[in-house]
Every structure is written in C-alpha cells, then in structure tokens.
Amino acid sequence: DAGVTQSPTHLIKTRGQQVTLRCSPISGHKSVSWYQQVLGQGPQFIFQYYEKEERGRGNFPDRFSARQFPNYSSELNVNALLLGDSALYLCASSLDHTRAGAVETQYFGPGTRLLVL
C-alpha cells in the first residue's frame, strides 16, 4: 500500500507570495494533520482535519489555512510568505481521531521543503 504522499517535494518562493501544498493520506485514513518543522526542531502542529472539518489548530497566524476534500486529501495554503516560513512541511494521516481513548498513531509523509527567499 502507498504511504502518505505529498507534493511538491521542494518549492522556492519569494516573500509575499502564496503557496499551496498537497497531501494524500493512506488509503482508508480519514484524518490529516499538518506540521511545520524548522531545521533542528521538532514538528510543530498546524492543523488537523477529519471528515473535511477542522478538528484542531496550532498557534499559527491566519496566513495559514487548510482544507480537506471528500477523498480525504488535503491542501495547506500559506499567504504572504515570510522568510521564517522556510521549513519542511509534513503531512500525517491517521485512521480516525474520534474514538475516545484510542491512540490514533499518525503516519508521516516525506514532506515538502519550502524555501522563502
């Protein structure tokens, strides 16, 4: 089975531009989460989506937005790019986040490396 896929793998943008990153979860997984990983740091939670609804949001500005489609794929959009947005953007999928007490382990994609100049 294919794992989590992300596109593009690398991206170079300039300050002020907008970017859209894409993620396809593992088949059968309904929840997608987005993370930002700055070099030398652990991933920071940005969003979680389940069944096309936002279920969680980290401490990121409104320039960051996301959505999930009926096929459970997801897009992350970042507007008005800043130099500090340069990072590896990771998408992770999990089966179901709604079961109380369940450990919904996440499986990560390879990430999209964004460089803002």
Partner 1 sequence: QKEVEQDPGPLSVPEGAIVSLNCTYSNSAFQYFMWYRQYSRKGPELLMYTYSSGNKEDGRFTAQVDKSSKYISLFIRDSQPSDSATYLCAILNTGNQFYFGTGTSLTVIP
When the beta carbons of 71 and 105 are compared against partner 1, the nearer one is: 105
* Encoded tokens for 6: 């992300």
Q: Which amino acid is at 89?
A: Y
Q: Are 111 and 4 in contact (CB under 8 A)?
A: no
Smallest gap from Cβ 104 to partner 1, in A, equals 6
- Integer Cα distance of 97 and 29 in angstroms: 10
CB of 16 to partner 1, least distance (A): 27
Residue with tokens 């994609």: 109
Closer to partner 1 by Cβ: residue 4 or 78: 4
Residues forming contacts to partner 1 in the complex (CB under 8 A) are 4, 33, 35, 40-45, 48, 55-56, 58, 90, 92, 97, 103-111, 113
Min separation Cβ 103 and partner 1, Å: 5
Beta carbon nearer to partner 1, 2 or 103: 103
d(CA 43, CA 55): 18
